[in-house]
Amino acid sequence: MFILNAPVEETIEIDNRIYLLKVNALEISSIIKPGQFLNVRVSERVSPLLRRPFSVCDVDGEHLYLMFNIMGEGTNILAHKPKGSEIDILGPLGNGFNLGGDYKTAVIVAGGLGAAPFPYFTRTLTGKKDILSFIGGRSKDDVITYNLKNVKEATEDGSRGFKGNVVQLLEKNIELLKSKKIKIFACGPTPMLRALKSFCIKNEFDCEVSTECAMACGFGICQGCSIESITEQEKYLLVCKDGPVFNIKDVVI
Ligand SMILES: Cc1cc2nc3c(=O)[nH]c(=O)nc-3n(C[C@H](O)[C@H](O)[C@H](O)COP(=O)(O)OP(=O)(O)OC[C@H]3O[C@@H](n4cnc5c(N)ncnc54)[C@H](O)[C@@H]3O)c2cc1C
Ligand code: FES
């Protein structure tokens, strides 16, 4: 784990209100895995003790990319960081996705900004596994398909792709999914993950899910990020240290 001041190279608004921040951080970019995250101190002015966690969105040589929208003060400052300024980042943190295993097709399931970890995931698995991406949002403005492959889209208002939620889109494609040897990798809002959990249990699909919660330290010290476990070994797990990626069957969502 490194803590370093990373120079900001670029901040791009890739889509309506969605930002991509590119920083230079070779120590981290050379070892970080898809699904791991960084804890970012956006500014000394904003709750100085509190960092903000962000998934690694993509990696390109010495560059790391973070994807976010403006939720509050921290992300607002981050979106307006000038080129050449520095941000204090801590990482890599968390476990990341387990990409190995006896499956042929990786099925990405994401809602809204849950798409953030999957450009790097897609880059890493390309040429090793087939990839199918099921991406959902409330309306077309919430559907983020940046650097994803073989995308099927769902919107609840029907403004793009299938009309309904992304789990209903999976149901619609059940024959396709059952015809392949798949493993599902997911990230998104809690209602989506709950529905996905029932879908995976019903259809006996293996699924890893990247979870989110409020965090402080980001590496297992403050105990502030527990998630209820259904494993026999532990009653609670820490999202920052044991996760953020879990087998969907192992945690209460
Ligand atoms: C492991 C992990 C990975 C993450 N990866 C990403 C990512 O790649 N891209 C991204 O945009 N966000 C990601 N998040 C969420 C991100 O950390 C928050 O959006 C960010 O901390 C908000 O900071 P802020 O100062 O702008 O907002 P704050 O001022 O802290 O909060 C503004 C409002 O947003 C709400 N809020 C804050 N965090 C969350 C959250 N996690 N979910 C729902 N509501 C929230 C607050 O309750 C408040 O109402 C991740 C979170 C975790 C735990
Ligand atoms: S955020 Fe401190 S233990 Fe997880």
User: Is the distance from the beta carbon of residue 213 to the nearest atom of ligand 1 less than 6 Å?
Assistant: yes
Q: In what order do the strands lie in the sheet with 162-163?
A: 162-163, 151-155, 130-137, 105-111, 182-187, 207-210, 245-247
Using the atom order of ligand 1, give the atom closest to the CA of residue 70: 26
Q: Ligand 1 atom 9: the closest Cα is on which residue?
A: 68
Q: Residue 140: is it exposed, middle or buried by C-beta count within 10 angstroms (0-12/13-18/19+)?
A: middle
- Both tokens of 198, joined, read 């029932």
With the most atoms of ligand 1 within 8 angstroms of its CB, the residue from 58, 68, 71 to mutate is 71
Q: Cα separation of 22 and 234, whole Å?
A: 38
Q: Is the CB of 51 under 6 A from ligand 1?
A: no
Domain residue extents for the chain? 2-93, 105-210
Closest CA to 217 of 205, 226, 225: 225
Q: Across the strands, what pairs with 132?
A: 107
CA of 78 relative to ligand 1 center, distance in Å: 12
Whole-angstrom distance, CA of residue 211 vs CA of residue 42: 22
Give per-residue pLDDT as tens, 51-70: 999 999 999 999 999 999 99
The string of pLDDT tens digits covering residues 97-118 is 999 999 999 999 999 999 999 9
Residue nearest to atom 19 of ligand 1 (CA): 71
Total Cβ atoms within 10 A of residue 250: 18
Report the pLDDT value the prediction gives residue 234, as an integer from 0 to 100.
Answer: 85
Type of residue found at 30: S
* Closest of 116, 245, 249 to residue 185, by C-alpha: 245
Which residue's C-alpha comes closest to atom 30 of ligand 1?
Answer: 72
Ligand 2: which atom is nearest the Cα of residue 216? 1
pLDDT in tens, the chain (253 residues): 999 999 999 999 998 789 999 999 999 999 999 999 999 998 877 665 689 999 999 999 999 999 999 999 999 999 999 999 999 999 999 999 999 999 999 999 999 999 999 999 999 999 999 999 999 999 999 999 999 999 999 999 999 999 999 999 999 999 999 999 999 999 999 999 999 999 999 999 999 999 999 999 999 999 999 999 998 888 999 999 999 999 999 999 9
Which CATH class for the 105-210 domain? Answer: alpha beta
Contacts of residue 182, defined as CB under 8 A and 6 or more positions apart, other chains included, come to 103, 104, 105, 106, 107, 132, 205, 206
Atom of ligand 1 at shortest distance to CA of 94? 1
**Domain 2-93 CATH superfamily:** Translation factors (2.40.30.10)
CA of 129 to the centre of ligand 2 (A): 33
Identify the nearest ligand to the CA of 37 by its number: 1
Q: 29: Cβ–Cβ under 8 A, 6 or more apart, which residues?
A: 59, 60, 61, 62, 63, 64
115 lines ligand 1 (CB under 6 A): no
Which residue owns the Cα nearest ligand 1 atom 13? Answer: 54
C-alpha 174 – ligand 1 centre gap (Å)? 32
